[in-house]
Structure 1
Amino acid sequence: MTKAIEQETDPGIERLCKKHERFISAPPTPGIERMEAQFFGNMFAPHRHDTYALGITMHGVQTFNYRGEYRASNPGNVIILHPDELHDGGAGTDDGLQYRMLYLEPALLRRGLDHDHASLPFIGDPVIHDPILWSTLASVLGELDRDVDPLLCDQFISDIAQRLSQHAKAPLKQPRFNAAQRMDQVREFLAAHFDRPVQSDELEQVAGMDRYRLIRHFRARFGTTPYRYLIMRRLQKARALMVLGQPLAGVAADTGFSDQSHLNRHFRQTYGVTPGRWLSLTRQDDR
């Protein structure tokens, strides 16, 4: 699978066709999303995810603003974006951009760390040159039309955690009081009730602590807030329903949003494009 990507990143690759802008999504894997994007110009408005975003630039120059600075990645580099960090995205040249990205939930990354209470790794530079990490990502991004083998997935998570830990100059801060098990229970509760309004007092009952302390512990463990985590679960379900052809008004109602405009606003804030634009580019994948 790595070899296929190496061929695509060859400097002699033909210029991308402007009429072939597209998004390709891989079959879903718990805690992991894989995708390829191919486009021209500035595609993504400022947005943020609740996952680690790990990518490899395949063709062109990948540009984005991140943590107050303009960044650029060339083929062969690895991009590392942290949960809840605002960023945009576009092609740095007229030749267009092609890249593949993996979105990894912090809860899954934790399984590959040395111990369950370790701090999430933080890498200050979002563009790095690491052939080992590049190859690790290529092992699961090489063929997006196939499921990831379970054994390969476990190996991949372990390898990713090791490489990110080695690059981390400073871990994300952890509260002194260990509330790991309680935060895991809060996360499970949110995932089970994503399609309805969840009240803070419900989470307080699950966690056994006040809401403000809960938010601090949840962010330290998963890199995002309970509210953001809930919204992301709704949006994941919304995308799945959109691909099936359901109208946006019905999708909004089925995923806990108050109406279609509420869905549209959160979709753009999270993915940087409108639901209609995302769906039109996704449907252009004719593999």
Structure 2
Amino acid sequence: MQARNTTDATDATSEPASTAPQATNPDTKTRDWIRRAPAQDGVERIEAFFQHNGYALHRHDTYAIGRTLAGVQSFHYRCSVRNSLPGGTMVLHPDEMHDGQAGTDEGFRYRMIYVEPAVFQAALGGKPLPFIEGGLSDDPRLAAATETLLQGIDRPLDPLEQDDALFDLAHALDAASGARSIQPLRASADFRAAQVARDYLHAALDRPVTLDELAAASGRDRWSLSRDFRTFYGTSPHRYLTMRRLDAARLSMLRGMALVDAAAAAGFADQSHMTRHFVAAYGVTPSRWLRMLTTQTR
């Protein structure tokens, strides 16, 4: 989950109507904050606090797996309202719409990891992505498997420690889901073709890519490849490419690059184009995201 957006003139565009704030504007609150550990090998870790309504409807192409540390964390997910309390585990599947808000006046604090589906694919050997019904689980296997990854942001993870924890988490997810996926594995699904297409996209972040190009590179017909990609990576090829461009833009912004330059460097048509995708993916405008990240470092 990422923070809810409000209209922000510095981002050169306003929030889409479908994600417009419905209640108190959180920008007037100085207590909201996000702390972020540097992304490492397909995993991003954050800890955050929000006082009131913190999230707009958005979706990203990673798993969002976390734990509420204090308060009640409420969110819409798959047509229902969920309430996360301390002690449980949140598991939001890639590309699933969700929002969020405090369930009480005290606000809520949480930790979350964002894991690329390819990381779990490497551990599960090409199985369909595991799906946790309802986005919340009390399964003790998940609680134990997330303990290392959801520890304090101030403590960096040793690379081997992270890899071991991700392996354990992948198999805990698979077990807790009962091997149920949101999209069952077809007998004809081609994991190698999906991998080839993913590699092709990583090499083409700075230019337009067509599905025909991906099909030719992978040796699949275009629609079979599109289905395979969704099965193994949880999102469409276009959204996957857009999210990798957003990753590049965020890294540039964190290094101090102006928003307009970060957008151009990441392959977006302009700053407005980047901002629209940023809001849809993270639920917050780029400048709002940067402000919340710096709140704890002032």
State TM-score, norm by structure 1: 0.89
Cα separation, 2, equivalents of 1:44 and 1:216: 30
Say if 2:295 is the partner of 1:256. Answer: no
State the partner residue of 1:179. 190
Letter in 2 for 1:142: Q
1:129-176: CA deviations, max 9, x gaps?
A: 134422432312213234321221222112112211122142231122
**What pairs with 1:84-123 in structure 2 (closer than 5 Å)?**
84-113=95-124, 116-123=125-132
State the partner residue of 2:227. 216
Letter in 1 for 2:52: G
- CA displacement at 1:119 relative to structure 2: 2.0
Cα separation, 2, equivalents of 1:118 and 1:204: 21
- CA displacement at 1:200 relative to structure 2: 2.1
Size of the alignment, in residue pairs? 268
Could you tell me which of 34, 54, 69 is aligned with 2:65? 54
Cα separation, 1, equivalents of 2:69 and 2:293: 19
Letter in 2 for 1:179: D
Instruction: For residue 273 of structure 1, give the secondary structure of its aligned residue in structure 2.
Output: coil
Cα separation, 2, equivalents of 1:202 and 1:147: 39
Structure 1: unaligned runs, 5 residues or longer:
1-17
Letter in 1 for 2:265: D
Cα separation, 1, equivalents of 2:219 and 2:185: 19
Instruction: For residue 93 of structure 1, give the secondary structure of its aligned residue in structure 2.
Output: coil
Letter in 1 for 2:116: E
Instruction: For residue 81 of structure 2, give the secondary structure of its aligned residue in structure 1.
Output: strand
Say if 2:143 is the partner of 1:134. Answer: yes
State the partner residue of 2:285. 274
Letter in 2 for 1:126: G
Q: CA RMSD in A?
A: 1.5
Cα separation, 1, equivalents of 2:246 and 2:155: 23
- CA displacement at 1:277 relative to structure 2: 0.9
**What pairs with 1:1-287 in structure 2 (closer than 5 Å)?**
19-113=30-124, 116-169=125-178, 170-171=180-181, 172-286=183-297
- CA displacement at 1:209 relative to structure 2: 2.1
Letter in 2 for 1:21: D
Cα separation, 2, equivalents of 1:132 and 1:214: 34
Question: Are residues 231 and 112 of structure 1, via their aligned partners in 2, closer, same or farther at CA, if it must alter by over 3 Å?
Answer: same
Asked whether the equivalents of residues 35 and 144 of structure 1 are also in contact (C-alpha less than 8 Å), the reply is yes
Cα separation, 2, equivalents of 1:200 and 1:145: 42
Asked whether the equivalents of residues 56 and 101 of structure 1 are also in contact (C-alpha less than 8 Å), the reply is yes
Cα separation, 1, equivalents of 2:198 and 2:232: 10
Asked whether the equivalents of residues 46 and 272 of structure 1 are also in contact (C-alpha less than 8 Å), the reply is yes
State TM-score, norm by structure 2: 0.86
